[in-house]
Amino acid sequence: MLLEIKDLHASIGDKEILRGVNLRINEGEVHAIMGPNGNGKSTLASVIAGNEMFTVTKGEVLYKGKNLLDMSIEERACEGVFLGFQYPVEIPGVSIASFMRTAINEQRKYHGQDPMDMLEFAQYMEEKQKVVELTENLAKRSVNEGFSGGEKKKNEIFQMAMLQPSLAFLDETDSGLDIDALRIVAGGVNQLRRKDNAIVVITHYQRLLDYIVPDFVHVLAGGKIVKTGPKELALELEEKGYDWLKAEEGL
């Protein structure tokens, strides 16, 4: 078991957003989390990554058998937890290349490895840029500064390729993408699917799942996972919306 979430409750300020999430993820699996907006999908991803804006009030998260909630943000990252941000922040003046080099070397340091030398890094980066067709020009620019929606999302997947996480939460990676960018981004994610990692795709729409085919589909509503099913569930949701589920759950 890679990740086990048990009865997770989390709040922002006085407002409880997650109200008992249970979820189990094994290596090699792709999960999709769907659900109406404002029901806790992004919060779940943020809490897993350790965003301090949220307070965990109850529950447990085991990651590779360890208590994830005890770890700092960067420890989680070094242990292989990756969050593809819905709204990646701009960091003016810091190039993607130096950002990634810092990240990779800090992660290597965490694992007791030597830093990657410049040449090796340059080659590695060049190779990973191909995953999402990230242009050389973009790699020289400051992190997310002045990027279009599509460029930001490509940059997130590129970073995932660089860091090779064991568990990736991709938060609304499809939002704001045109069809070409969607294909590139989804294609990138598919290249990164491995037997020893797991990917959790958070999305509002079924169309992304045409490209990234999940093993499981979960519906997160009212701060809980209210339904889990095979990939066909996504189609059903697309057709019928979420209201029937809410009715079923009495939400």
Partner 1 sequence: MADKEKTSANKVIEDITQSDYRWGFVTDIETETLRKGLDEETIRFISAKKGEPQWMLDFRLKAFEIWKKKQEPHWAHFDYPPIDYQDIVYWAAPKTAAGQNGAADTAAIDPELLETFEKLGISLEEQKVMAGVAVDAVMDSVSVKTMYSDELSELGIIFCSISEAIRNYPDLVRKYLGSVVPAGDNFFAALNSAVFSDGSFVYIPKGVRCPIELSTYFRINAKNSGQFERTLIVADEGSYVSYMEGCTAPMRDENQLHAAIVEIMVMKDAEVKYSTVQNWYPGNKEGAGGIYNFVTKRGICKGAHAKLSWTQVETGSAITWKYPSVILQGDHSTGEFYSVAVTNNRQQADTGTKMIHIGKNTRSTIISKGVSAGQSQNSYRGLVQMLPAADGSRNFSRCDSLLMGDRCGAHTWPDIQCQNPEAIVEHEATTSKISEEQLFYCRQRGISAESAVGLIINGYAGEVLERLPMEFAVEARRLLSVSLEGSVG
Name the site residues for partner 1 (rule: CB under 8 A). Answer: 12-13, 49-53, 55, 72-74, 76-78, 82-83, 85, 88-89, 91-94, 98-100, 102-103, 106-107, 110, 142, 159, 163
Angle CA 81–105–157, to nearest 5: 45
Smallest gap from Cβ 107 to partner 1, in A, equals 4
Closer of 168 and 208 to partner 1 (Cβ): 168
- The residue (of 38 and 93) whose beta carbon lies closer to partner 1 is 93
CB 235, CB 206: distance < 8 Å: yes
Rounded CA gap, 46 and 60, in Å?
Answer: 15
Please report how close the Cβ of residue 93 comes to partner 1 at its closest, in angstroms.
Answer: 3
Query: What is the C-alpha to C-alpha distance for residues 125 and 110, in angstroms, rounded to an integer?
Result: 20
- The number of residues in the chain equals 251
Distance between CA atoms of residues 43 and 126, nearest Å: 33
Q: Which CB, 146 or 250, lies closer to partner 1?
A: 146
The whole-angstrom separation of Cα 160 and Cα 112 is 21
Q: Shortest gap between Cβ of 242 and partner 1 (angstroms)?
A: 28
Whichever of 83 and 209 has its CB closer to partner 1, that residue is 83
**Distance of closest approach, residue 88 Cβ to partner 1, in angstroms:** 7
Least Cβ distance, residue 209 to partner 1 (angstroms): 25
For partner 1, give the closer residue by CB, 54 or 242. Answer: 54
Q: Specify the pairing of strand 224-229 against strand 216-221.
A: antiparallel
Smallest Cα–Cα separation from 5: which of 37, 43, 34? 43
